[in-house]
Amino acid sequence: MLTCFNGTSWKFRNLKCCFAMCRPTFCEIIKKKSSGSYSGVPYACTLGNCLLWVFYGLPIITQNNILVITINGFGVGLESLYLLIFILCSKGKVRVRIHLIMNVNARLPPSLLLLTSNTIEI
């Protein structure tokens, strides 16, 4: 059991539950070597959500948000792995749509930083 940051072990259990729920779906995708009728959009959107929370947790934005960065950093890694598996096992229009969403996800946090850089006191 991970217990740190003043006994917040429940947050790590919730972390495991939130991001590990997708595991059976991706085990099936790997077995069939096809994404089938599954949609990758929820996973791409979850990746975008985690990226924005990591951006929010950065020390130049807010102070003392180590849990926000830790939990969502783990989510970014896991969702990236899920999307890599999904892209490798999908075909055609599905693959293109996921690439487009991931492209937006990759550009959103840096563009927000540029847009808000004049309001941040460093």
Is the pLDDT at 1 greater than 50, yes or no? no
What does 53-100 look like in DSSP terms, one character per residue? HHHHHSTTTSSS-HHHHHHHHHHHHHHHHHHHHHHHH--HHHHHHHHH
pTM, rounded to two decimals: 0.71
pLDDT digits (tens, 9 = 90+) for 48-86: 888 888 888 887 777 888 888 888 898 889 888 888 888
